[in-house]
Every structure is written in structure tokens, then in C-alpha cells.
Amino acid sequence: MAFDFKILPILISMSFELIIFICMLATFALSIFLFKMPAGVSLMLAAILGALIGGQGLPVRHLVEGGFGFLEAILIISTAMIFMRVMQETGALAGVSRGILKLFYRQPTLLIIVITFFVMFPGMLTGLSSTCILTTGALVAPILINMGMQRLAVGALIAMAAVFGEVAPPISIPVMIIGGGVDMPYIGFGIPLLLVSFPPALITALYFRFRYLQDYNIDKVKEYLDSTGGEKYGLKLYLPIAFVILYMIGEIRFHEYVPHLGVPLIFIIGTLLGLLTRKGVRLIDVSRNALRSAMPVMAILVGVGMFLQILALTGVRGYLAVTALGLPEGIRYLAAGLMPFMGSAYGSASIIGVPLVYVFIGKSTLVVTAVLVLMAALGDLMPPPALLCAYSSQIIEEKNHFKILKTCLIPIAISMTIGILILVFAQEISNLIL
């Protein structure tokens, strides 16, 4: 095929940094969609090509340094996943699930809201949306089905709750990714992340309650509750969860009096406490399974670190920051609205989220970043991978996971609308809440 020389003036007029960035994005896209490579490997290949085009050769030192850029996040994910698996094995999560049903089964609206927040809980601690579906989501799915909710609606509600769990504090990996790209510390995001996660989660819960659970059969739910008596181990079963939550709050609110342990060590102590609450839980087996499920995400973080390091090394990051400031206001919001269609929260956060922080430099950086994280997290629902929909379809035994995505469309649109509104008034909201 002959080369079209008409594009030469366009290429010549482009900035060299822009050409590097386009080549990196093209490499990432081709590796993902054409060659079906893992996202982490695709990001690494994009970083290597960017370095070669930028005249840096093969900068091993920078690639290694970038690969370790999110070491703290990787430690948090690995220790948090082990902790959640131990809580699953000891029966603590199942006990909480049954306790929620026992307390609120007479009030279906309140029950749906509490269940939604319960599904979010693992994501809030691990920063991973998939954990919500595989742990608490799997526990509540039978409850929701027995309440009378359609199976597709159950899968969609769990998938949406997983997105909000990934966004909500105290642990939000996409925030760490964006912060790593713009040299912003992970401090002060608690309230902004609550603002962009809990209100959409509440509205989503109410939407599914009144759209898909109009006929609530309390007798059937009570019968299900009586048939799942379960084992009882007393309050000691929940001590590890209480310790982890309270100590994290203590480090944030009472840091003058509470010794700083760091999030990974808090999870390790919580895991050890969990092993003491019930015999027969094998730490080696649990850790192996937990790390195996978290490995793809940790590989993505290594690739993201390399990608961002090469952007800085070749001058692309500086170019994007300067160029972003000159974009028209309408284009800025359009770019934010397109973030969910990247199909990956971490890819969207690193590739689009980092430049957009510079775009909205005149607004509160904390609130802007929180909104961008919400937009990026919604990408986990989108094709081609639609990972959260695929996981949810396995829980409810639905072969076509795109039916779940279709059921999620209205909550997705509502969440995006809330996010854009918060973004428009980010500075005014910041003045009220921060």
C-alpha cells in the first residue's frame, strides 16, 4: 500500500512530544485489542517504544524506577486481598451479611441501601472493584434473588456497587495513579471521594429498589433467613475487621496519639488476628489464592509506573500539562465524559486522568481528581473487556454479560451526570466541604 504523502504536513506540524504520545497510545491500544495482551504488558511495551522514539534508547533504570513507582499501592493491594480472603474463610463476611438481613429484612428500602454499601466495603479497603463482586457480592446475590429482584438487576446492582467501592475511601488506587502522574500526595481525599461515591451509590440503590423490587415478599425472605442459620463464633469473629477500620480512622483523625503503622502493616495485623478467630484457615493457601487473583492488577500498576516515567523522561508530561491549559472549556468536560469509554479504570486514570488534572488547574485539585476517578472507575463496566459485568454474570449464572451492562446504563448515566455537575462546581463545592 502506497504511503499517503498528504499526511506529511500534518506530521511535520505536530510537536515531537505529541508524536511520541500518539505512538505510545497506539501501541497500548494495538497490544490490548489486536494482540490481546495483558494491560500491564501493553503499558510496558508502550513505555519502551516511547523511550526509543524519544531518543532515550532502552532506559532500564527509568523502567525499573517507574515499575516500583506504585510499590506502596501494590503492597496495599496484596495485604488487603489476603486480609479479605481470611475474613471470607473465617466466615466473618458471611456473618455480617446474615446480620444485615436479620436487622433490615422488614424494611426493604433500607435493606437495599445497606446491602449496596456492604458490597462496596471490600473495594473501600483494597481499592479493587473485582474484590467486591467475588466476596460480598457473591454473598448478597442469593439474598437479593430471594427478595424477588430479577437476576439481571442483581448482577447490575452488584457491578455498580463494585465501581463505587473502588472509588470510595480510604483506599483508592486510581487516585494514587493520578497522584503519581502529577506528583500529588495521597492526602485529603477522604471527603471528596465520599462525595463522588456515596451519593451515586445511594441513588443507584434506590433506583434498583423501586425499578426492580416493587413486589417484596417478606415471608419468603424470612423463610430464606431461617434456612441459613449458619455457624456462630461470637463477636471475636469480627474483631479483625473492627481493628482495621478503627486503626485506619485513628491514624487519620488522631495521628498525634496513634502510632503510625502504615496500611500494609495494619492489614497484616488484621490477617493475623483473623487467623486466631478460627482454626483450620491455612495462611499459605489463602495468600496464594489472594495474590493470584490480584496479580493482574499489580502488573497493571507496574506498567502504569513505567508509562508515566517515560512520559516524564521524554517531556511528554510537560507538553500535555502546557497544552491542556489552552483547551476550550467545552472540550475539557467532553474529555472527562469520555473517560468511562476507555474500558479500564487504571488505563483511563493514567492516560487521560493525569492530563485532565492540569486542564482543570483553576479548580480544587482534590475534588477534580475525585471526579476523574469516578469517571475512570465506570470504565470497568464498559466493553470490550467489561470485566465487572463478566464477573457479575458468573455470580448470577448469566451467559451474556452484556445484558448486565444494558441494565446498568441508566445508573451509569446518572453517575456520570453527578460527576460532571460536581466537576463544573468543583471550586465552590471545595469551599463548602474542605
pLDDT tens digit string along 238-287?
999 999 999 988 887 787 888 888 889 999 999 999 999 888 889 999 99
Give this prediction's pTM: 0.84
Q: Which of 311, 124, 280, 315 is nearest to 201 (CA)?
A: 124
Share of the chain above pLDDT 70, in %: 94
Q: How confident is the model at residue 317 (pLDDT cuts 50, 70, 90)?
A: confident
Q: Locate 220 and state its grid cell.
A: 419468603
Query: Does the pLDDT of residue 326 top 90, yes or no?
Result: no
Q: Which of 421, 356, 409, 86 is nearest to 237 (CA)?
A: 86
Q: What is the pLDDT of residues 99-150, one digit of tens each?
A: 888 888 889 999 999 999 999 999 998 888 988 998 899 889 988 988 889 9
- Of 141-145, 195-199, 407-411, give the lowest mean pLDDT range: 141-145
Question: Phi-psi bin for 206: left (phi > 0), alpha (psi -120 to 50), beta?
Answer: alpha
- Of 15-29, 217-231, 332-346, 364-378, give the lowest mean pLDDT range: 217-231
**C-beta separation of 224 from 143 below 8 A:** yes
- Longest Cα separation, the chain: 76
Angle, to 10 degrees, between the axis of helix 239-253 and the axis of helix 92-104? 90
| Burial 396-405, CB ≥16 within 10 A → b, else e | bebeebebbb
Query: Does the pLDDT of residue 8 top 50, yes or no?
Result: no
Sign of the alpha-carbon dihedral angle for 393, 396, 397, 399: negative
